[in-house]
Structure 1
Amino acid sequence: MGKNSITGNFPEIRRRDRALDRESALNLLRQGQIGVLSTVDDKNQPYGVPVNYAVLHDTIYIHCAKSGHKLDNIRKNHKVSFCVVGSHELKPEQFSTNYESVIVFGSAEIIESEAKRIPLKTLIDQLIPQMAPFGDDYIDKHFKRTAIIKIAIEHISGKRRDEK
């Protein structure tokens, strides 16, 4: 098991010289706003979708409608991956890119109960803090038609390339 794993066996990063430690990977995850949630459907077809997200207590929260392809997939297979790209800069003269990224493997859970209120407030606070004073009213208005995807992190890895 890799040092960034909580459970399970996950492959080590090939370019160890670019690997981020667990805390740096978590910090990159916390700083992001958009990530790609990847699921697999019942025909083994992968499905990746960009989503807004928030992180609370090292758990990822995503808001969505109560129906849709990603929720259908999670109901059949709760294993997901989640990818965030931080800063990036093309380096044409090097035929390369400077970047930082993080990938999470985890278990997703769909929350449709009253327990989704705190993650919804966290999403507002982290993504649009200027709207926080209006957040409770917005949540109340849309509460019944909103679900939360909660991703428990089982493994996290991050990489950074920063060549001059």
Structure 2
Amino acid sequence: MKSQVEIKDKKMIDEILNSVEYGTLALCSDNKPYSVPVNFVYNENIIYFHGAKKGKTKDYIKENNLASLSVVEPYSVIQSYFSSESGLACPATYFYKSVSCDGKIEFVLDYEEKVKALQLLMQKLQPEGKYLPLDNEVYQKHINVTEVFKLNIDELKGKLKLGQHLPKERFDMIIEYLNNRGYEIDKKTIEQMQANKVEENI
């Protein structure tokens, strides 16, 4: 990974993992790749997610528990003419933050840990509450028939692409085009571009 796009701030990586609702889990068994989108929660260097007791995901993990989860926080598509008047397609790009988590997956067998994982997932996806806590006995049957997995992270990498290293002229040109287009995602992109701009290029 190029050092200029690598996220070196662990706090930012944690913020991405705590805010993005789903990621793509990459698995491989018998030299056959398989990827699946999963809702997840990040807690103390562990990724928790859940699924069915039977199915392709579980079968792959049983055969090979090495895995990688990719998470993307999307921002604006940047048209080629947003930063260049050359007429070339090359400047066209896409702005985003991303994190990849590599490690080994375990099946969560302890009931209390399953409750903890599912409670954390609910707190992330439904922070307003309005549900019975997962340690209520009413959930016991449902929890027992749900498979909970945990990805123990061995390597964590983040990537930030928000034009932060562009020359000021191109950087400002992109902001002007995003302002003129005015989508909600463009407004968020501008905020993030300005917050992450490398000072030496301003």
Q: Which TM-score band applies after superposition, normalised by the shorter structure?
A: 0.7 to 0.9
Match of 2:33 in 1: 46
Residues 39, 22 of structure 1: CA spacing in aligned structure 2 closer, same or farther, 3 A cutoff?
farther
In the alignment, which residue of structure 2 is the partner of 1:4?
A: none
Q: TM-score, structure 1 length as denominator?
A: 0.84
Secondary structure at the residue paired with 1:130? coil
Which residue of the other structure, out of 121, 124, 129, is the alignment partner of 1:123?
Answer: 121
Aligned length: 150
Is 1:74 paired with 2:32? no
- How far residue 73 of structure 1 moved from its aligned partner, in angstroms, is 1.0
> 1:157 & 1:112 partners in 2: Cα distance?
28
5+ residue gaps, structure 2, are 81-90, 164-170, 172-202
Which one has more relative contact order, counting CA pairs under 8 Å at least 6 apart?
Answer: 1
Measured against aligned partners, the alpha-carbon deviations of 1:18-64 in whole angstroms (never above 9, x if no partner) come to 000150223312221100011112x2111110010011112100011
Q: Distance in 2 between matches of 1:85 and 1:144?
A: 31
Does residue 113 (structure 1) correspond to residue 110 (structure 2)? The answer is yes
Gaps of 5+ in 1: 1-12
Contact (CA 8 Å) 2:18, 2:124: kept in 1 or not? no
- Give the TM-score normalised by structure 2: 0.69
The match for 1:140 is 140
Find the structure with the greater CA-based Rg. 2
Distance 1:53 1:110, change over 3 A: same
Structure number with the higher strand fraction is 1
Partner of 2:20: 32
Indicate if the aligned counterparts of 1:22 and 1:157 stay in contact, CA closer than 8 A.
Answer: no
Aligned counterparts of 1:108 and 1:127: Cα–Cα separation in 2: 22
Give identity over the alignment, percent: 26
Contact residue 17 and residue 71 of structure 2 kept, 8 A? yes
Cα RMSD, aligned residues only:
1.7
Report the secondary structure of 1:129's partner residue: coil
- Are the equivalent residues in 2 in contact too, given 1:117–1:139 (CA < 8 A)? no
